[in-house]
Amino acid sequence: MEVPSVDAWLAERRRENTLRVRRVPLDTLREWRTDPETGDLRHRSGRFFTVEGIRIRDSSLEFDAWDQPLVVQPEYGVLGLLLKEVDGRLHGLFQAKVEPGNAGGTQLAPTVQATRSNYTRVHGGLPVPYLDRFLGTTRRRRGRILFDSLQSEQASWFLAKRNRNMAVLLAPGDDVPVLPGHHWVPLDDLGPLLRRDDLVGMDARSVLSGLVAARLPSGPERPHHDDRELLSWFTEAKAGDATVRRRIPLREVRDWVRTPESIHHCEHRHFAVIGVDVEATGREVERWSQPMLAPTGTGVVALLSRRVDGTRHYLVQARSEAGCLDAVEMAPTVQCQPGSYAGLPANRRPAFLGEVLSAPPERILLDTVQSEEGGRFYHARNRYLIVDVGEDFPLDVPDRFAWVTARQLTTLVCYANHLNVQVRTLLTLLGFAAADETAREAEQ
């Protein structure tokens, strides 16, 4: 299926999958209520998710203490991509999925994208198709598992959120019916699609990060830190993490204001909690209400890159976030909303943000805007960049940073709580978005 055919299919799905999202007051959300004691937002079933408060204290971060709302969704979901080989080319069975928070509407999603509440049908909706290919004992007889890992999601906004990311290769001759809304797409065709803004959804990008290893150039490399050194650095960062996290009632969150329309920061930084009423076709449920987190601006997510002894390296950081399950994760060099730091002194701004924002065009190896999870976040978008800083850039960096190769990242992505979702997106872009010579250079 060539890219023009993907475009035609997506255009057809957009015509058929209509979505209407309307902002409404928080107190009018159907099936949701404000807990009279805590102020937390809860679904009447007790399932799906809650919006609660958290209090953070850590002198090593740009802000050493703060409170904020946070989405609490303890159940694991399934993000599963079915694969098959056709004439020597791997194809993925993607679905065209529309989420209430998607910027631009319909996006490419994995074959299965469902929370436990969805696939146990708490909402009374339709069954999740293809789920049996990923759960239960039959999957061991019906396909080869290429990737299977519990992976975190946005820990700045989620508390300890993880989803099971899976890629399953069908055996030769074992085919599945292609249901409406799904289509086989050659993985080789994903590069141009990933370089477009807001087209390949976050969940698809996360699963694809587990398939990058086979796409990297073969041949020897000389990593600046071998794997043992890298894991020791990461373990040291986790062991030394000083973050203290305490869940608190939403009504006790300091510096946040609740109005009928939203819960927002007193200086209108970071994000707001809003309410939406949704009407959709092509979904398990066609109408519902829910709270969502709406960022105040587009974020910047970037890797600085340079060659070390002839091998392309990328600068990652060991980053602590409000909702991290295991102290810290490896994150991009820069991961922030620049607007949240407006007016603050330089020592309160993220390290290396200036190098990213001032990079000349000829140094930018990759630059694309991608949407984040559209089921909980409203129009959450990040500008993803890879910036070549040249071989004069110092190898000696602050302790919480380390130089890694793309191949080392493909090893780390197999394990839970090592790479956060933002660096997994950048890994996917490295592996699949090599549509021109500049992007290929980023892979080397």
Q: What is the pLDDT of residue 347?
A: 84
Q: What is the pLDDT of residue 443?
A: 45
φ, ψ for residue 127, nearest 5 deg? -65, 155
Q: What is the mean pLDDT of the chain?
A: 92
CA distance 408 to 223: 8
Consecutive H or E run containing 117: helix 116-119
Q: What is the pLDDT of residue 439?
A: 42
Give the E-state strand segments of 281-405 in sequence order. Answer: 287-295, 299-308, 311-319, 329-331, 334-336, 364-371, 381-388, 401-404
**Whether the predicted pLDDT of 140 surpasses 70:** no
**Whether the predicted pLDDT of 201 surpasses 60:** yes
* Tokens representing residue 398 in the block: 């602050």
**Whether the predicted pLDDT of 1 surpasses 70:** no
CB count in 10 Å sphere of residue 443: 18
Residues 181-210 have a mean pLDDT of: 96
Angle at 132 between CA 128 and CA 135, to 5 degrees: 105
Residues 160-176 have a mean pLDDT of: 94
**Whether the predicted pLDDT of 350 surpasses 70:** yes
Q: What is the pLDDT of residue 438?
A: 41
Residue 258: helix, strand or coil by DSSP?
strand
Domain boundaries, the chain: 1-444
Strand 41-43 to strand 364-371: parallel, antiparallel, or no bridges (unpaired)?
Answer: unpaired
Q: What is the pLDDT of residue 421?
A: 98
Consecutive H or E run containing 118: helix 116-119
**Whether the predicted pLDDT of 2 surpasses 90:** no
CA distance 52 to 67: 11
Could you please report the per-residue DSSP string of 421-435?
HHHHHHHHHHHH---
**Whether the predicted pLDDT of 61 surpasses 80:** no
Q: What is the pLDDT of residue 103?
A: 92
φ, ψ for residue 177, nearest 5 deg? -65, 140
CA distance 99 to 79: 15
Confidence of residue 436 (pLDDT cuts 50, 70, 90): very low
CA distance 63 to 344: 11
Consecutive H or E run containing 247: strand 244-248
Q: What is the pLDDT of residue 75?
A: 87
Q: What is the pLDDT of residue 220?
A: 87
Arch. (CATH architecture) of 1-444: Alpha-Beta Complex (3.90)
* Tokens representing residue 251 in the block: 């009504």
What pTM did the predictor assign? 0.94
